[in-house]
Each structure stands twice: as C-alpha cells, then as structure tokens.
Structure 1
Amino acid sequence: MSSASKEFPGLRFDPAPGLLPALGQLAEKVHQAAGQLGNVRTELERTLRDPGAWTGLAGGSCHDAVQHIYPEVWIMHDALSGVEHTLGEWSYLLADYQRSRTTLEAQAVAVRARVKQAKADPNIDVAFFELAGQSAENQEALLRRHAQAKQALEQAQGELDRIIKAAEGLKKQHDESARTFAKQIRDFADHLPDKNTMTPAGSKIIPPYFTKPPLGDEDVGPKREFNVAEPTAKDRATKLAAMGMVVGQSEYYENPRAASYLKQWLEGNGEDVQFEAVDFINQNPAFQKELRKTMLAGASSGQFDTGWKSGKISEDMNLPGPDGKKPKLSDWYYSMNGYQYRIVGSDFRMVNGEPVGQVRVDIYKRYNWGSPEGGTHRNDIKGIPQNDLARLNETGLAHDFDIVGSTTFYAPPRQSQ
C-alpha cells in the first residue's frame, strides 16, 4: 500500500499535497528579506529628499550616484514584496484546499465502511440452490432481501464514486493553482521592471496617509445602511440570481476579479478589499495617458496633488493602446466601472524634456449596486435590476464594501544613449 493510501485510507490519494509549516517558514524568510530591503529603500528616499545632506561638488556627485542606485533598490524591493504577497496568497489557498481535503477524506472513510458492510451482507449474493426447494413465499422474501442488499451496496458505491470524483476535481484545481502561483513567483525574477521606463511598482501596501474620498450622493442614505430591513422572498431570489452571476463571471465571461468581488459582497463582512493598483495602471492605457499628462503638467512645480478625480472603465476601454487595439478591460469593468483616483507627485523636475520624480497613485471604489433610494438602475447586468441587488445590503443578505489600491513608483530620468 502506498504512503498516500495509508495516510488517506478513504480517498486513497492526496488531492491537496503541500506542507503548510514549510511554506510558512519560507514566507517568513522572504518577509524578513523584503523588510530589510524596504528599510534600505526608506533610508535612500529620506536621504534623497534632504537637500542639506548634499553639499559641494562631492555631495552633488554622491547625490547623483545614490539617485541611480535607488531605482535598483526599489525594483528589488518590489520583486521581493511581490514574492512575499504571492506566497501568502498560495498559503491561504492551500490551507483552504486542505480543509476541503479533510472533509472529503472523512466522508470517504465513512462511506467505505458502508460499502464494506454492504458487501458483507449475506443477502448480497443468492445462489440457485438457495432458491431450489423453497416455497414461492420464501423465494420472494429471499429475492427481496437480495434486492435491498444490492441497492444498499449500489447507493454506497455511488456515493463513494461521487466523493472520489470531487477529490479528483480538487486535485486538478490544486495543481492548476500551484502552477499559476509558481509562474507568478518565477516572473518576479524573469521579468524585473526596466528602470529606464516608467514602470509603476512599489510596495503595494495601502499607506497610512491613504484618505478615502467622501461618499457620493448615490452612496449615502437610510437605504444604504446594512441589515436594517427584513429580507423578502424576492430578496432571496435576487441573491440566488447574484450567486449565479458569480459563476457566470468566473466560468463564462472569464472575469475572475469581478467574480471574487461579487462573492465577497455576498459573503463578506464589509471590510475593505485591497487590490494591486499597479495591475490596474499597467493594463489601462487610458489611465497611463492621464498619469503621464499629470506628471508633465506638475513636474515644473516640483510637487503636485490632483485630489480625488473620477474615471470610468467604460470610457477607458474605448481608448486604443500603443498597439492600436482597444484593451481588454471587461474584468475591471464588471469589478469597478466608476472609480476614483488621486495622483500625488514629489521631488519632481524636468530632465531632457521628461518628468522625473516620485509618484503615488491611490484608487478607490465603493462596491455597491444600483440606486436603492429610487431612480433608474444601470444596465450592465442583464436580467437582474441593480436596484434589487442594492437592497441586499439593506436586508443583510450582502454587505457593501470599499475597494482600495495604492502604488508608489519612481519615474526615473531616461538614460543617455
């Protein structure tokens, strides 16, 4: 008997292999390394921003040298932070897979016992000689017991087959996830940002000075309060339809972010959800254009802050990218169509006609639906009035939440050719 069969006597294989303690130790080592590099980055940033630290010809030369070193430190810190974040995500997902494995194994052990018991039933096999010489009444009783025993065995075997099939599905999902996370980690080393381009990056951690914008008129009001009304049969039907939308976004439309946010809304506790603002920027040519325009306009003043401004994915997705093609932003559209953003620049100047300095981009979205106070609902979800969806928060069947993202990056000078 294989080791997997001994460890999992019910399933006879491990559908979610992996050592969580070892993964935790690795994540802690990466966390420490990223922290040390983060401290170096912080010190370099503080020193570069202190004009009094650089005096005389030697001071100016040293400032230039440190300024060229800083992007390298920033890039490595960003890569290590990305690895740390990815390891954390995989650890969380693996733990979830292994919890499912535990449940399936317990079910399989119990059902295998039923299969064994059913096979041991003396009525499961009926020989011809047992029927011979019996009265018609006894023959009927014997055949009835045989049919019942056979049915019990078939039911137990069928249930065991369903459990094994579910475990096989879990194994497939586990292996696909493992490959995805492994590729993400390799990509941090294989595809480091080019310091000679304006590549957004940063710690990807919401900074303590991130201040949310004030809520808009459609996001306030008594009907926006959570769990203050009793749900009706219609509300429960709306939630069921929304649960179907989760599957549709994930499987049919292939919008995993939209599916996860909708699931969070239906099952979460209203806490903020953080996303990678760097992904939003890198995938959105229209926002990149707005970002560059903002830096060009503000560089001459050294410091700038746009304050909170509004954007729409529905408009961004219609602007062609550098390749002339419209970007594929449907996942962002169904996740956070109407968003708000703030661009803050510091230590900026123009070098050879290019803006150089430190940039922070904050992005915010209030995740709720429709207009529960009345009015016309939006039409980007077919078949389900969004005002009906919005009411789920009021009845406690869903919970509105905030989506927040922030990234800080260095826009370096172009290197001379």
Structure 2
Amino acid sequence: MVTFTQIIELDVSGLETFADRWGRVHRKIKEAREGFHDDVVRKLHDDQWRGAGGSKAQDYCDRIQTAIDALDAEVVSLRRFLDEEADGSKGSGGVKGFEGLQKEACALQEEAFVHGLLINDDGSIQRMGGYDPTAPEGSENLDEEKRIIANSLEERAKKVIGTATENDEWIAASLKVIFGTVGNFETEDRRYKVSEPTLKDRMVRNQLNNVGAMANMRGWKTTAGLVQHFLDGNGEPVEVQPQQMMKDIPQFQRDLDKTMDHDVSKRPDGPFTTEWKSTAPNPKDGDKSMDWYYGLNHFQYRTVGEKHGNEVTYHVEVQKRYDWGIPSEHRRTQEAFGGPFEMSLEQADLAHLNTTGLGRDFDVKGSSEQMRTTV
C-alpha cells in the first residue's frame, strides 16, 4: 500500500529523468543498428556471398538485425510508458499519473493545515497536537463544522492513496513483461513462422489447446472456436455476426446506442460513416458476455448508413486483429487468461506461437444486415 507521505515526497522529476535516460538508450541502439546494417548486412548482401555458407551468414545477420529492432521497440515502449505514468499525459491519464496525484495530495495537505489538521499515512485525519477529530464528542471538543471538514479530507485522501496504489501495482506488473524473455522478445516484428519452435513453444501450444478445450466444456463456443482457429494456423479471416453480438453482449448494445444518440443524431441528412470506436464485453452481464470476453475482449465497431430527419438506415461493422500481446505492449497475462481458466500464460509466449508457426494471427470482422431506427 502506498502511503500519503510517499505520494507527497515522490520525486516525479526523477522518474521523468529516468525515462529520458531510456530515450538516450534508444538513440544508441538506433546508431548501433544503422552501423551494423551499413558495415555488415549491406556488404554481406552486396558482395553476394554465394553457397550455403553465404546464405547462412546472411540469415544469421538478418536475425541479429531483427533482434536489435525488437530490443529497440521495447526500449521505446518503456520510455513512453514511464513518461506517461509519471505525468499522466496518456496511458492511465490525468489524475492517475503520479504528477497529478502528487498535486492533488499537496492541495489536500495545504487544506488540512489551514484547518489545523494533519493527514496520516493511511489517509486518516488527526488534529495538530495529536487530537483525533473523529473521537467521541467531549474528548477533543471538536466543533461539528471541523468534523465535517475532517471527514471530507479523509475521504479524498484515501481515494488518492487508493489510486496511487493501483497505479504503482500496474507499473510493477507491466515492467515485468515489457521486455519479455529471451525466448519471446523477438515477437515484436509479428512475422509468421520465422524461427523454429522450442520445447517451451510446444508446451505453450498444448496449454492454449487445453484452454480451448476447457472453454468448449463450459459451452463457450466463441472462445473455443477462435482459439482453435489460431492454433490451426491458416490465417484466414473469421466472420462474426454483429447483430448476434449485440444480443450476446449488452455492453456492445449500450455503446452502440450512445453512438446513435450522441453522434448519428447530430449529423446532417445524408450518408454517414462513424469513426471506429472500441467496446468490450462486461463479464458481469452474464455467460454469453463472458464467452465473448475471453474469446475476443476488446473490439472495434462503426456504423455506416444514411440519415433523413429522424429516420436512419444503417448497418454495423466490427473488426479485431486476433493476436497476443508482444512485450512492448505490456498486455498482462491475467487480463486474458485469469478467473475460471485457472491457468497462467504470458501473452508474449502466446505471440511467439505465431513467430514459430505453431499458431497464426488472423483478422476477425463482420457486417450486419441493414437496420432502421429513429434518433
């Protein structure tokens, strides 16, 4: 648990300086990559070293270049991640950035001082001099107005502490996967079947196959089907039915309704195409939503149609790239395979199945029939 004092004393500028140093690492890697390409790879290819030895040398150097690119992608991701979490400009955003949280904590501390109060590490409030403003009436003789102020300060301070703790845990978990492992960091380029599978890759494939089997046993046909299609490895797109998805995923229907109410209704008459927007099933909405949650999770949708007054004729399109998180995306495993599966698989290990040809990424897409509504 992060304490209130730790938030106040956090060296946010030091965190940003640390991020900037990773920016310098990126520049050095880029220079090394350019030098390796110009001094080794280009000459090797231009000289056209023939025969099996030349081919192996070229392949080996190409792999080194790919590895350098993968490392650089992860360094850039780390630098951006640290900077965004420090100032809240992106990522978690706004007040969830440590800089925003620190400003809020300092403002609360100043407000407490004005009223002769102190904020403890756990967010509780005490009166300067050691008195407890929440103690029974008579022991500190605190007036009711100050008691209300103290309660308000405590509520807001504990909220800041809770948010900072969540942010701290998120960073700790993300940093553990952002560089991947020796066996999966090369997945950054997402090319298909460019390396030989290892024993670990085959074990991961078997585990994922078990996930699909368990999903099928639970009646989650969407999850099971998509996992199997990935493992089959043909890479062909999978068609889904948006109208059925609207029935199965209440959150999708709610988000679509908002698009119609807040976007389409304000457009002028004539043809329209809305921007792609993201939505995701809420597991609390029932078993069908749970199936789509584990099968697809986030996906994008848009509406295409024509508006005449309040009458709208339209269809809905959905799309999703079915792939697993590479290290620089720091997509944490438990978000995809937690809960009922009771199995831990690192996303970058799953992404490596595409690299070795034991699985293959593919597109998920679909378009509904024409529908009519009023806005």
Structure with greater Cα Rg: 1
Q: What's the TM-score, normalizing by structure 1?
A: 0.40
Q: What's the TM-score, normalizing by structure 2?
A: 0.44
